[in-house]
Amino acid sequence: MKFILAFFFLAPLHIYSQEVEASDILFLKIQELEGELASLRSELESQAYLIEKLLSEDQNQVENVISLNAEINSDESTFRFEGINDSQSIDEVYDQAISELNDKDFQAAKRSFDYLANNFNDDEKIPLSLFWLGEISLLESNLLESERFFQRLASDFPDHWRTPLAHKKIGDILMMSNEVGAAKIKYQFVVQTFPENAASSLALQLLENME
């Protein structure tokens, strides 16, 4: 009889203990999710800041290139892809894409850059469009698509001034994909191939952090 009474007294305590334990686990899970959300928010803010910084650099570089081309031959300010008769010039499409990027309308900018990259031929605007497509895809955490754009830039325009950074970005994507060995090889490639480029310094710093 005493055993039965003890059981009835202890049973509620056991149930209460289980409820407390479940509540603690739920609280810890919530804290963990909040931490992950804060980390993702910080990563997105950092990527957005980087896009604004790179955008400013690109605009200055493009202005210099446009000015130089105008001095060489004013008739070469735009070039339409052979066989395509589109009403919008390369400059108009690119300026629209840059404006959308400045407004943080990334989906619209992505459509404009993609249209430009696949319908025109220009040794300055096309690689820049591919670079921004890679950056926007990276912002969207679409690593495979981002790598594809950066790879296309690096292979089709090996001498473009954004190519070293495109290679470094591929290394970053490999790191995000936990392909540490491949990322290290890519960073070493950047350091050895583009020693005077700023991308080389970034890659070297990452290599040192990996030691």
Three-state secondary structure call for residue 140: coil
CA–CA distance, 157 with 3 (Å, rounded to integer) = 83
Tell me which of 156 and 50 has the higher pLDDT: 156
CA 50, 199, 96 angle in degrees (round to 5)? 45
pTM of the model: 0.64
Q: With contact defined as beta carbons under 8 Å apart, do 175 and 184 qualify? A: no
Q: Which CATH number fits domain 2-160: 1.25.40, 1.20.1530, 1.10.3470, 3.10.120?
A: 1.25.40
CA–CA distance, 18 with 4 (Å, rounded to integer) = 21
Tell me which of 72 and 167 has the higher pLDDT: 167
What tokens were used for 98? Answer: 């840059």
**Which run of H or E residues covers position 59?**
helix 2-72
Going by C-alpha positions, the residue among 56, 65, 52 that lies closest to residue 161 is 65
**Segment 79-128, tens digit of pLDDT:** 444 434 354 688 899 999 999 999 999 999 999 999 999 999 899 999 99
